[in-house]
Amino acid sequence: MTVRTLFLMRHAEAESYGGLGDRKRQLTAHGRREAADRAAAVAGVSHVLVSDATRTMQTVACLGLDAAVEPSRALYGADAGTILDAIREVDDSVPSLLVVGHNPGIHGLVLRLADTTSEPSAVRLASHFPTATLCRFEVEGDWVDLVQVRLTDTYRTTLPA
């Protein structure tokens, strides 16, 4: 059976709501550092699904990936079910996938997918989901069959604000 890697990430820290509207909020300097701090963990990712909001697109840019990036209007403010549906549409030729989105949808999907074989320390860290939190899952089988997967690692910000 094919083992794939799925990463779910909340966007990095963004500026407060401004006059341009929520979708146009940009990353703060701290947010850019947060995102860059995750680059090593996602190095080698082959495909990225990302909300089309400015802050999520900037988060992906800060990761410096050499991957196909697919912006999606449907992922902006999406709930866990909508994000899961988008993942299930990914072609099975994709061995590793990163999804960058927003809370509460990303966090909700992390909690929904983690199965009983997940690493307890990763699950504990995933219970609180600040900006730039990244979770790594091992997926056995095809994307379309995704129901529950093994959460192996959770990365959270350790940078000073």
Query: Is there a domain that residue 161 lies in?
Result: no
What residues are paired with 138 via a beta bridge? 5, 150
Q: What is the span of the domain harbouring residue 139?
A: 3-155
Number of Cβ within a 10 Å radius of residue 128: 10
Picking from 6, 9, 47, 11, the residue whose alpha carbon sits closest to that of residue 30 is 11
Segments of the chain with pLDDT less than 50? none
In a domain, 160, yes or no: no
The residue with tokens 């699950």 is 123
Give pLDDT, residue 158.
72
Q: What CATH number did the domain enclosing 11 receive?
A: 3.40.50.1240
CA 33 to chain centre: 16
The pLDDT value given to residue 2: 86
State pTM to two decimals.
Answer: 0.95
Q: What is the pLDDT of residue 159?
A: 67
Number of domains comprising the chain: 1
